[in-house]
Amino acid sequence: MACIVKQKVGNNTYLYESTSYRNSEGKPRNKRCLIGKINRETG
């Protein structure tokens, strides 16, 4: 399952695409792929 995640780092906010999966031991994990930074003035 994939979803979009907002994460604030310092004064900047970034968007990531997060994909959840289970590893070979059956434990839940996720991978994140950076989409980009949100512009503070325009959103």
34 DSSP β-pair partners: 16
User: In this predicted model, what pLDDT tens digit does every residue of 6-38 receive, in sequence order?
Assistant: 999 999 999 999 999 999 999 999 999 999 999
Q: Does residue 1 register a pLDDT over 80? A: no
20 DSSP β-pair partners: 30
Global pTM value: 0.76
- Where along the chain do its domains lie? 2-39
Return the pLDDT at 40.
84
Return the pLDDT at 5.
95
Return the pLDDT at 43.
76
Alpha-carbon distances of 7 from 15, 18, 22, 32, rounded to whole Å: 7, 11, 23, 11
Task: Locate 2 and state its tokens.
Answer: 């994939």
